[in-house]
């Protein structure tokens, strides 16, 4: 491999995967929820943020509705 390459004539192009990239957001979660997913991630060998993403994707794909009951 050459030590130097001349990239001055190289044409740039748009990243074809840019639309598929994940978007970074700030999300406030309770500490016990984070610990739950961190513990599960160590069992599964998946980073906890990816595990949360997979869980939310499953909820969205199955159109799962949140069941809430408010006590008076």
20: DSSP letter:
G
| CB neighbours of residue 52 within 10 Å | 20
The one-digit pLDDT tens for each residue of the chain (72 residues) are 677 888 888 888 888 888 888 888 999 999 999 999 999 999 999 999 999 999 999 999 999 988 888 876
50, two tokens:
């990816």
Map residue 63 onto helix, strand or coil: coil
pTM here is 0.66
């Amino acid at each position: 491999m050459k030590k130097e390459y001349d990239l001055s004539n190289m044409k740039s192009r748009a990243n074809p995967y840019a639309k598929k990239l994940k978007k970074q957001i700030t999300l406030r979660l309770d500490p016990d929820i984070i610990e739950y997913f961190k513990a599960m991630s160590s069992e599964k060998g998946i980073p906890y943020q990816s595990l949360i993403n997979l869980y939310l994707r499953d909820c969205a794909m199955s159109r799962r509705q949140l069941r809430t009951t408010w006590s008076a």
